[in-house]
Amino acid sequence: MAEQLATNITWHDGDVTPDMRKENMGQQGASLWLTGLSASGKSTVAMALEKLLLSRGKHAYCLDGDNIRHGLNKNLGFSAEDRAENIRRIGEVTKLFADSGMITINSFISPYRVDRDQARAAHDESKIPFFEVFVHCPLEEAEKRDPKGLYKKARAGEIKGFTGIDDPYEAPESPEIVLNTHEQSVEESALALMKMLEDHGIV
Ligand code: ADP
C-alpha cells in the first residue's frame, strides 16, 4: 500500500449524495475489472460491452492498459514494483469514475492477485460495486492470436518479464464471473457481463 506523504490535508465531503448521483445518472456506478493474459480478449470484450451499454442509454467508459500507460502512468515500466503502482493508480481512478456514477470497464493484465485485491478493498471501503472479471483463454490460444506480436517478441527474448512467458499470471480465486474467450464469442461475453450487471441491479 502506498504511504500517505502529504500532511495537513482534509477530506472534503460534498452536498451531493450517492443516491442523488444515482438518480441523476439513471444507474448505479460500478467498476468491472477485466484481468487475464495479454490477447485473452480483455479490450475487445470491454469495448463491446461499452458499446452495448451506450446503445441501451447507459453511461460507460473503458480504461485500457496501453492507453493509461501513454498518459497517467507513462513514468512506469514493467518491474513488479511499477506494475503494482500502475494498478494502484488505476484502482483509484476507476473508483473515482465509478463514484461519479459511471460504469467503468478496466482492461489490464493485472497479473498479481494482491494488487487486484487492493483495488477491490479500496472499492469495498467506499461501498462502490466492484466486479472482478476473469477473461480466460489458454496461453496457447493467446499466443496463436498474438494481435500485437508481443508473444513472438517475448519468445525471442526481445521482451523480458512478459506475463505468461517469464513472469507469472496469478488467476483470480473467486472472480464474480469467468469468460472463456476460446469458447464464447465476443458478443456472448459482452451479454454475459450485461446480465451480471442486471442481476446486481446496476443497470
Ligand atoms: P487483451 O486486451 O486481453 O490483450 P485484445 O482484446 O487486445 O486482448 O486482443 C484479443 C484478440 O483476440 C483480438 O484480436 C480479438 O479479435 C481476438 N479474439 C478472437 N476471439 C475472441 C473472443 N471470443 N473474445 C475476445 N477476443 C477474441
pLDDT digit string (tens) for 78-119? Answer: 888 998 899 899 999 999 999 999 999 999 999 999 999 999
**Could you read off the pLDDT of 185-200 as tens digits, one per residue?**
999 999 999 999 999 9
Q: What is the pLDDT of residues 2-55, one digit of tens each?
A: 788 888 888 778 889 888 999 999 999 999 999 999 999 999 999 999 999 999
155 lines ligand 1 (CB under 6 A): no
Whether the CB of 44 sits within 6 Å of ligand 1? yes
Contacts of 118 (CB under 8 A, 6+ apart): 1, 87, 88, 91
| β-strands 60-64, 177-180 pairing | unpaired
pLDDT of residue 166: 94
Q: Which of 21-25, 138-142, 171-175 has the lowest mean pLDDT?
A: 21-25
Kindly compute the dihedral angle of the four CA atoms of residues 19, 20, 25, 30, in this order, to the nearest 10 degrees.
-30
**C-alpha cell at position 95:** 473508483
Q: Kindly state if the Cβ of 181 falls inside 6 Å of ligand 1.
A: yes
Pocket flag, ligand 1, residue 36 (CB < 6 Å): yes
Of 107, 126, 174, 189, catalytic: 107
* Residue 133 grid cell: 472479471
176, with CB counted inside 10 A (0-12, 13-18, 19+), is middle
Closest CA to 64 of 182, 143, 141, 148: 148
**122 in Cβ contact with 95 (< 8 Å):** yes
The pTM of the full predicted model, rounded to 2 decimals, is 0.93
CATH number for 26-199 (one of 3.30.70.920, 3.30.70.360, 3.30.70.940, 3.40.50.300): it is 3.40.50.300
Domain ranges of the chain: 26-199
45 close to ligand 1 (CB < 6 Angstrom): yes
Nearest atom (ligand 1) to Cα of 184: 23
Q: How far is the CA of 41 from the centre of ligand 1 (A)?
A: 3
Kindly list the distances between the CA atom of residue 159 and the CA atoms of 80, 94, 118, 154, in Å, as whole numbers in the listed order: 15, 28, 27, 5
48 Cα: distance to centroid of ligand 1 (angstroms):
11
- The answer to whether the CB of 67 is under 6 A from ligand 1 is no
Residues 6+ positions from 15 with CB-CB distance below 8 Å:
none
**38 carries an active-site annotation:** no
Q: Give the cell for residue 130.
A: 466492484
List the grid coordinates of 73: 502512468
142 CA distance to ligand 1 centroid (A)? 8
Cα(176) to ligand 1 centroid in Å equals 20
